[in-house]
Amino acid sequence: MKCKCCDRYINDLRFGFCFDCATAESIIADGTDMFDEPITKQDGMSLEMSKVKAILKRFNIKGK
């Protein structure tokens, strides 16, 4: 099955979305991951940028 958000083929979807996309939504909306662990502000970053970094990490996107 294909995730409605990222278009990746994933066997285990919830309401049509993969766990990575559901986690990204939770990070954006609530500032917590799907396990209710808060995203903390990292040194030199705003809380918002720390959320972006957490989402990128979730999708295995690494910076240079």
pLDDT of 24 strictly over 90: yes
pTM given for the model: 0.84
Residue 62's pLDDT band (boundaries 50, 70, 90)? Answer: confident
- 40: which 2 tokens? 């903390």
pLDDT for the residue numbered 11? 92
pLDDT for the residue numbered 64? 58
pLDDT for the residue numbered 63? 67
Question: What is the rounded average pLDDT of the residues 30-36?
Answer: 93
Rg from Cα positions in the chain: 13
